[in-house]
Amino acid sequence: MNYIELREAKLRGDTRQIAEDYKDSNGTVDYSNIEVHKGLVGVYADESLISYIDGVEGRLYYRGYAVHNLVKHSTFEEVAYLLIYGELPTKAQLQDFKDLLIKERNIPDNIVQLLKSFPRNTTRIELLRTAISALSLYDPDDYIYTEDANIRKGLRIIAKMPTIIAFAHRIQTNQPLVEPSDELSHSGNYYYMMTGDKPMEDFVDAFDKVLICHGDHALNASTFSCRVTVSTLSDLYSGITSAIGTLRGPLHGGANEAVIRYLTDEVKRNDNVIPWARNKLERKEKIMGFGHRVYKIWDPRAIIMRDLAKKFYDAYINGERLDTITETGHDHKHDDFIFEMTEILADYMIKNKGLYPNVDLYSAGLLHSLGIPSALYTPLFAAARSVGWVAHAIEQLRNNKLIRPRLKYTGTLGKVYVGINER
């Protein structure tokens, strides 16, 4: 079989034809030459029109628009519309979209009761994963699988995630629930429900940019999970639930919480950064917030987050009145110099390991200075990425092919069964 025939056989999943290609001179199938792509490194699983990562130049595009331009000119709602529908909205489309998200912010009482029933001291991302799974049972479109119904479900998920996250956290910390406000933008309201503080413009703007930067990232692990799940023709909620479970890990979305934990609990001081990092690297431990599967240079989102974090840091250093950033005077957290520590660490890692910061290093510091509880960093990533998950689920289903790769079996075959009494 020539290369093209083999490729086509593989695309068809034609096991018999593929096996033919691996037969040795005795006619025995020999799979030892099969190339394994561990971690699916460098594998292109499908085509997509949603986002593009240029890992060499360090660029990211959503539907063809450079993310740094979207961050500069757009809002979370507009970017969400772009990712889901493929085009920037007109004024009227954007207004309808915003109205819909506002209308869908509330969550069913049963979900609130469920959140109240969970044990305390649970990670918020687990609460989110469980609540999203339960939410499907209250969705009027639960058993309707058309694209329109999937978009309706997707928008409900995007609108309700901040409410679930904020409610879950406030229940866990014995604080009164803050009901969604119809007057605030998606990010303004999200911030308000989490902290109980209505943020001023600068704050909303920064938070909005954080959400935009996390909106999509091609076939990252959680998006892959989502696409695998819906490729079985399971439902959208199952796709998003799988994605949240995947995002949770510290090699993916859990990295931002890990960063703030090590900076505040282990490193603590500027002069401790380099000894701490050296020690970690000597012990061959990974330092979260660095490295990336695709970017081998600066992650463009890290640059955006760094600029924002620096803006808040400079304001503090210059003695500007940061207590005016929220209506009630938020207690700003710059006294522990997270930004300085991340700068020292980034410099050390780039020079000594050739490893660049990823989005999580600076988003952790930025979220910290915005006064967002660290337990909510990973769920926040999920709330923003839900847009990408929905867009990818829809794209997957438009031209679906069950995602089902193979594993190269390396064990022994033909073992003789030994009865339990003889073992």
Instruction: Name the segment binding ligand COA (CB under 6 A); options: 106-114, 205-213, 235-243, 291-299.
Output: 291-299
DSSP string over 200-259 = PHHHHHHHHHHHHHTS--SS-HHHHHHHHHHHTT--HHHHHHHHHHHHTSTTTTTHHHHH
CA dihedral sign, ordered 165, 194, 76, 262: negative
Q: How far is the CB of 281 from ligand COA (least distance, A)?
A: 6
The rounded distance, in Å, linking the Cα atoms of 291 and 302 is 11
**Per-residue burial over 260-276, b = 16 or more CB atoms within 10 Å of its CB, e = otherwise:** bbbbbeebeeeeebeeb
Q: Supply the minimum distance, in Å, between the C-beta of residue 39 and ligand COA.
A: 6
**Annotation marks residue 392 as catalytic:** no
The set of residues, in sequence order, having a beta carbon less than 8 Å from that of 134 and lying 6+ positions away, is: 110, 111, 114
Residue tagged active-site, from 139, 197, 299, 360 = 360
Residue whose CB is less far from ligand COA, 252 or 310 = 252
- The verdict on 290 binding ligand COA (CB under 6 A) reads yes
Binder of ligand COA out of 154, 291, 371, 388 (CB under 6 A): 291
Please report whether residue 359 would count as binding ligand COA according to CB under 6 A: yes
Query: How many residues make up the chain in this entry?
Result: 423
- Cβ–Cβ under 8 Å, residues 390 and 157: yes
* Position 255 contacts ligand COA (CB under 6 A): yes
Footprint (CB under 6 A) of ligand COA, residues 296-355 = 355
Nearer to ligand COA, 75 or 363 (CB): 363
286 contributes a contact to ligand COA by CB under 6 A: yes
Residue 360 known to be catalytic: yes
* Binding residue for ligand COA, selected from 242, 326, 358, 396, defined by CB under 6 A: 358
Interacting stretch for ligand COA, rule CB under 6 A, among 57-65, 206-214, 261-269, 283-291?
Answer: 283-291
CA distances from 137 to 131, 153, 170, 233, 409 (A): 10, 12, 24, 17, 39
Catalytic residue, chosen from 214, 292, 330, 332, is: 292
Shortest reach from residue 253's CB to ligand COA, in Å:
8
- Of the candidates 193, 360, 370, 372, which one interacts with ligand COA according to CB under 6 A? 360
> What is residue 90's three-state secondary structure?
coil
292 is annotated as an active-site residue: yes
Site for ligand COA (CB under 6 A): which residue of 102, 151, 288, 394?
288
Residue nearest to ligand COA (CB): 291
Task: Using the minimum distance from each CB to ligand COA, give the nearer residue, 184 or 382.
Answer: 382
Shortest distance, position 249 Cβ to ligand COA, whole Å: 9
CA–CA distance, 389 with 381 (Å, rounded to integer): 12
Q: How far apart are CA 125 and CA 292, in angstroms?
A: 22
Tell me whether residue 204 or residue 359 sits nearer to ligand COA (CB atom).
359
Q: What is d(CA 360, CA 210) in angstroms, rounded to the nearest whole number?
A: 11
State the nearest-atom distance from the C-beta of 240 to ligand COA, in Å. Answer: 19
Q: Alpha-carbon distance 147 to 236, whole Å? A: 10
Q: By C-beta, is 284 or 398 nearer to ligand COA?
A: 284
- Nearest-CA neighbor of 53 among 381, 304, 295? 295
Indicate the residue type of 95. Answer: Q
- Of the two residues 172 and 225, which places its CB atom closer to ligand COA in the complex? 225
Residues identified as active-site: 252, 292, 360
Interacting residue ranges for ligand COA, rule: CB under 6 A = 39, 251-252, 255, 286-293, 355, 358-360
